[in-house]
Amino acid sequence: MIYTLCFVLFLIGLYCAITKKNIVKIVIGLTLMEYSANLFLILLGYRKGGVAPIVSENMNITEFLATSVDPLPQALVLTSIVIGLGVTTLAIAICIRLYEKYGTFDITEIRRLKG
């Protein structure tokens, strides 16, 4: 059920990216898809009633092994979030340049592709 909700978020982003004509809306759709993929990986590593993967002082290691959530997806999604910021920033910079050159965000009017 929770997986399905996460997938619905992905599909909303996909719908936005392929049907909208405004280029900022397309960037928003891509960002939504990225959020959904990150969330899905974290959902896969969740343990019911688990604790965060941080060792505290009065904690037995074997007990920690049995209750901690998966730390590997968290570490890799941390990387992925920061890379997503870089990619989205680049896309927005291109949007700003396109607006300065053509005076519109509408992709059906941005057709004169020349250097």
Partner 1 sequence: MGEEIYLFITLIFIILGALVAVETRSLLSSVISLGAVGFGLSIAFLLLMAPDLAIVQIAVEVILLIFLIRATIGRDVVPTTGHINWISLSIVSLLIVAFLLIGIYSFRSLLEFGTPIISAVGEAPSNSYIENGLSRTGAANIVTSVILDYRAYDTLGEATVLFTAILGALTVLRVRSRRELGGRR
Give, as ranges, the residues between 33 and 92 that touch partner 1 (CB under 8 A): 35, 38-39, 42-56, 61, 64-65, 68-72, 74-79, 81-90, 92
Q: At closest approach, how far in Å is the CB of 106 from partner 1?
A: 5
101 near partner 1, rule: CB under 8 A: no
Give the whole-angstrom CA distance, residue 72 versus residue 80. 12
DSSP letter, residue 1: -
Q: At closest approach, how far in Å is the CB of 112 from partner 1?
A: 18
Give the whole-angstrom CA distance, residue 44 versus residue 35. 15
Which of 63, 97, 110, 112 touches partner 1 (CB under 8 A)? 97
What's the number of CA atoms in the CB half-sphere (13 Å) around residue 32?
A: 19
Within residues 3-22, the interface with partner 1 by CB under 8 A covers 3-9, 11-16, 18-22
Q: At closest approach, how far in Å is the CB of 26 from partner 1?
A: 11
Give the whole-angstrom CA distance, residue 67 versus residue 53. 9
* 8 Å CB contact between 13 and 29: yes
